[in-house]
Amino acid sequence: MHVNPSVKSFSNYFIAALFLILLWQLISLCMADLALPGPIHAIHAFITGLDNGISRNLLFSAFRVVISILLSTLLAIPLGLLLGRETHLDRFLGPVIYLIYPIPKIVFLPVVLSLFGLGNWAKIFLISLLIFFQILVTARDAAKSVERLYLYSVKSLGASRKDIYRHVILPACLPEIFTSLRIGLGAAIAVLFITETFASSEGVGFYLMDSWSRMAYNEMYAGVIAMSLLGLVLYIILDWLEKKICPWKFLY
Amino acid sequence: MANDLVNIEKLQVSYRKSGSLVPALENVDLYLEQGQTCTVIGPSGCGKSTLLFILAGLFTDAEVEVRGRVLCPEKHRMALILQDYGLLPWKTVWDNAMLGLNIRGMSNEAKKGGLVKILQDLGIWEFKDRFPAQLSGGQRQRVAIARALALEPELLLMDEPLSSLDALTREALQELLLDICRKTKMSLILVTHNIEEAVLLGRQVLVMSPGPGRILNVLENSSAGNIGYRNQQAYFERCLKIRKILERGINDAC
Ligand SMILES: Nc1ncnc2c1ncn2[C@@H]1O[C@H](COP(=O)(O)OP(=O)(O)OP(=O)(O)O)[C@@H](O)[C@H]1O
Ligand SMILES: [Mg+2]
């Protein structure tokens, strides 16, 4: 029988989720500790919590991370491509990036909190900083290694510099940018979590730590589920976008 | 001299490689009138592709050093088909074939209709929504040819464009090219490894030798351009002669 591939991959996800939940149940039974409730309790707390704070906190977190991704990639992609192609620009800015890139961006948390206060912008700034450098370096390296053949090919058709960026450099680098974004997503959500646990009164990170401090363990795990769902949904959206934007990568 | 399309004198090209210059072409002269055809033949590495790249104005100063006189038409009047086709993997057959028209802002309905006809003539219309990775080598080559022909160039530069086609498709394409040259007064410079093809298509045959690339011989071949030529005695004699020149050139170089 012919099965629609998206149905098939959905059922694969479903089986994987079931497997993880069973594992969770097993461990919680073995440990018999209040701090590790079974999945049924956690899922129940998640569903009842939806009306009771989780939805609102989830929206806050999603807003912060989505805005950060949009802002940082929209800035980093053009700048990265330019750095990769325009050697004089790279000679000047390259060393600066080389120095900043390896710094774990979370160490700027106190600085950013002092500058931007405790609201959304401090969090958005910090996550954006992380993704920005990740995409910047990826885009630059990818643009540097674009095959010369493709450049000759479009130049012989009379391409201007703008045409070259549009028809060659950007599409050639997009797959690598997507890969990098997918890897960066995990780190971005980790940074989101940490910023939300600091003097914050909304966001899933806040909800989670608040439940913890009240020893409401079921709700704490509801928060873990919410954070995981946020990551999963963003991941799926990225996958879907890549298939839409880079169809030539998915021919077989 | 009103009709000269290409006029090159004493061309010297050297590649810049980590600070030093590696000569690729030495003392190359080439003169081509409008509507004429020229084929270039020679062993691998003798600078044939380099010569086409110079004509197409592709190199930057950072890549090569050029000396001598190079006169060739403005870029918008010529089209180049690269040795490895130069198709963009992220564009479909149709988008690849349209690329030249798009870049030059000539993508009107008439040109699109013309391109459809070209794709049909070349037998690749049914693949228009595929990506290059989904085509055979010969099909890709024909997409590259379609992209160049869509521009209705005055000068067509081709780098071994027919090498991965089967005998019959190759002959059909040779006829198509000759036909276009006759009808539109298009000029052609075609690089090939195939002696028969060089003699069939080039009113002028440049025989080159490597290390660095030089022109060994310029053969006038005024009967070229007819399919019937393939069966004439003069054709076989020309082929034999070029083979001898090539063999001698290789012996001299070694
Ligand atoms: N980008 C480059 N940098 C340095 N040297 C190069 C470069 N491209 C080509 N060369 C050298 O220049 C010489 C001529 O190369 P070219 O590609 O023009 O040869 P060709 O006649 O087209 O060979 P083939 O028949 O194999 O395609 C070769 O010796 C090659 O190694
Ligand atoms: Mg070559």
Contact A105, A162 (CB under 8 A): no
Q: CA B107, CA B111: separation in Å to the nearest integer?
A: 6
| CATH number of the domain to which A128 belongs | 1.10.3720.10
Does residue B120 lie in a domain region? yes
Q: Is the CB of B206 under 6 A from ligand 1?
A: no
Instruction: Please name the residue whose Cα sits nearest to atom 16 of ligand 1.
Output: B47
Q: Which domain holds residue A143?
A: 55-249
Give the angle subtended at the CA of A65 by the CAs of A62 and A66, to the nearest 5°.
Answer: 80
Does residue A89 lie in a domain region? yes
Place of tokens 């006809």: B117
Whether A156 and chain B come into contact, CB under 8 Å, resolves to yes
pLDDT for position A6:
67
Q: CA A159, CA B102: separation in Å to the nearest integer?
A: 10
Residues B142-154 have a mean pLDDT of 92
Q: Which residue has the higher pLDDT, B254 or A13?
A: A13
Q: CA A163, CA A169: separation in Å to the nearest integer?
A: 9
Q: CA A236, CA A71: separation in Å to the nearest integer?
A: 20
**pLDDT band at residue B61 under the 50/70/90 scheme:** confident
pLDDT for position A152:
92
Does residue B194 lie in a domain region? no
Q: Which ligand approaches the C-alpha of residue B16 most closely?
A: 1
In what side-by-side order are the strands of the sheet with B155-159? Answer: B78-81, B155-159, B187-192, B37-41, B204-209, B214-220
Asked, as a colleague might, if the bond just before B161 is cis with ω within 30 of 0, I would say no
Which residues make Cβ contacts (< 8 Å) with residue B141, sequence separation at least 6? Answer: B85, B161, B162, B163, B164, B165
* SS3 letters across chain B: CCCEEEEEEEEEEEEEECCEEEEEEEEEEEEEECCCEEEEECCCCCCHHHHHHHHCCCCCCCCEEEEEEEECCCHHHEEEECCCCCCCCCCCHHHHHHHHHHHCCCCCHHHHHHHHHHHHHCCCHHHCCCCHHHCCHHHHHHHHHHHHHHCCCCEEEEECCCCCCCHHHHHHHHHHHHHHHHHHCCEEEEEECCHHHHHHHCCEEEEEECCCEEEEEEEECCCCCCHHHHHCHHHHHHHHHHHHHHHHHHHHHC
* Residue-wise pLDDT tens digits, A111-148: 988 898 888 899 999 999 999 999 999 999 999 999 99
**pLDDT reading at B254 higher than 60:** no
Q: Which residue has the higher pLDDT, A66 or A14?
A: A66
Residues A228-251 have a mean pLDDT of 94
CA distance A79 to chain B (A): 22
Residue B247: C-alpha distances to residues B129, B153, B218, B237, B254 (Å): 45, 35, 15, 15, 11
Does residue A112 lie in a domain region? yes
Q: Which two tokens stand for residue A37?
A: 């409730």
* Residue-wise pLDDT tens digits, B25-49: 999 999 998 889 999 999 888 999 9
Q: Is the CB of B60 under 6 A from ligand 1?
A: no
Q: CA B157, CA A68: separation in Å to the nearest integer?
A: 49
Whether B72 and chain A come into contact, CB under 8 Å, resolves to no
Does residue A161 lie in a domain region? yes
SS3 content of chain A, % helix, strand, coil (to 5): 85, 0, 15
Closest CA to B79 of B189, B157, B176, B168: B157
User: Best of B88, B147, B154 to disrupt the A interface by mutation (most A CBs within 10 Å)?
Assistant: B88
Give the other-Cβ count within 10 Å of A218's Cβ.
20
Count of CB contacts below 8 A, A vs B?
60
Domain count, chain B: 1
Give, as one character, the DSSP assignment of residue A119.
Answer: S
User: Best of B80, B92, B103 to disrupt the A interface by mutation (most A CBs within 10 Å)?
Assistant: B103
User: Cβ separation of A152 and B104 shorter than 8 Å?
Assistant: no
Whether B82 and chain A come into contact, CB under 8 Å, resolves to yes
Q: CA B14, CA B213: separation in Å to the nearest integer?
A: 10
Does residue B131 lie in a domain region? yes
Which residues make Cβ contacts (< 8 Å) with residue A191, sequence separation at least 6? Answer: A105, A106, A126, A127, A130
Q: CA B138, CA B170: separation in Å to the nearest integer?
A: 9
Q: CA B128, CA B146: separation in Å to the nearest integer?
A: 11
pLDDT for position B249:
75
> HSE on the CB side for A137, CA within 13 Å?
16
Rg of chain B, C-alpha, whole Å: 18
Determine which of A117-121, A242-246, B206-210 has the lowest per-residue pLDDT on average: A117-121
Residue A104 burial (10 A CB sphere; 0-12, 13-18, 19+): exposed
**pLDDT band at residue B163 under the 50/70/90 scheme:** confident
pTM of the model: 0.88
Instruction: Please name the residue whose Cα sits nearest to atom 22 of ligand 1.
Output: B49
- Ligand 1, closest atom to CA B51? 18
Task: Using a CB cutoff of 5 Å, list residues around ligand 2, an ion.
Answer: B 49, 83
**pLDDT band at residue B229 under the 50/70/90 scheme:** confident
* Residue-wise pLDDT tens digits, A147-173: 999 999 999 998 999 999 999 999 999
Q: CA A124, CA A130: separation in Å to the nearest integer?
A: 10
What distance in angstroms lies between residue B24's CA and the mean position of ligand 1's atoms?
A: 7
Give the angle subtended at the CA of B39 by the CAs of B230 and B240, to the nearest 5°.
Answer: 50
Q: Which domain holds residue B117?
A: 85-153
Contact B134, A252 (CB under 8 A): no
Q: CA A172, CA A154: separation in Å to the nearest integer?
A: 13
Determine which of A4-18, A36-50, B170-184 has the lowest per-residue pLDDT on average: A4-18
**pLDDT band at residue B84 under the 50/70/90 scheme:** confident
Contact B101, B121 (CB under 8 A): no
Domain count, chain A: 1
Closest CA to B33 of B67, B75, B72: B72
Contacts with A174 from chain B: Cβ below 8 Å: 90
Say how many residues make up chain B: 254
pLDDT for position A26:
92
Contacts with B151 from chain A: Cβ below 8 Å: 157
Residues B184-191 have a mean pLDDT of 92
**pLDDT reading at B1 higher than 60:** no
